[in-house]
Amino acid sequence: MFEQARFIEACKAAVGDGQKAIREVVLEAVADPAAIIADLGEPTQAGVFPMYQAADLTIINFVWAPYMTLLPHNHNMSAVIGIYGGREDNVFWRRLSDPDGPALEAAGADSLGVGQAATLGPDIIHSVANPIRKLTPAIHVYGGDFFNPPTPRAQWNHETLREEAWDMDNTRKVFRQADARYQAGLAAGAED
């Protein structure tokens, strides 16, 4: 049975054993999505909901709004993403060296459903989309301080694919805007 405090302790204990050990903890948790929802509550809004933050570990409950996308970005730390509701599509990107063209090109993709987890190395660049018309909650476990990374993170403009400094305030704004659209749809009688 999932309990937030026990999950955090399991992640803290596994962090020294590396990303594979964290993945096992996350997979065990998302194997029982009903237990996560019973403990954390049924997601009702999109957002970034921190669960734990330290220099070597950050755990976040991300809830993606329907049809929401997040621009390409890196973490500069390992990550394990476990889905406990909905679907999350990831596009993986590789850097290009042409100074006059786009800085990235698509290099692969993965679609995750309930009970699945993705393992991202510290150099991975990805963008995220929720392709369905309901909220998609996911537990993200990072091997470092996600909000205060020791190495500056980057994001890439959706349209130009040019590199920019990562901006957590912008990320939170994207989630707020996506949630506002979702809530307006609910108020107008759109299906969940």
Q: What does the domain layout of the chain look like in residue ranges?
A: 4-187
**Torsion 14-19-21-22 (CA) sign:** positive
Both tokens assigned to 149? 């990374």
What are the helix and strand counts (H, E) for the chain?
Answer: 4, 11
DSSP state letter for 65: P
**Torsion 8-179-158-169 (CA) sign:** negative
Residue 104 has pLDDT above 90, yes or no: yes
Query: CATH topology for 4-187?
Result: Jelly Rolls (2.60.120)
DSSP state letter for 15: G
Q: What is the pLDDT of residues 140-184, one digit of tens each?
A: 999 999 999 999 999 999 898 989 999 999 999 999 999 999 999
Q: Model-level pTM?
A: 0.93
Both tokens assigned to 107? 């290099």
pLDDT attached to residue 102: 78
| pLDDT band for position 190 (cuts 50, 70, 90) | low
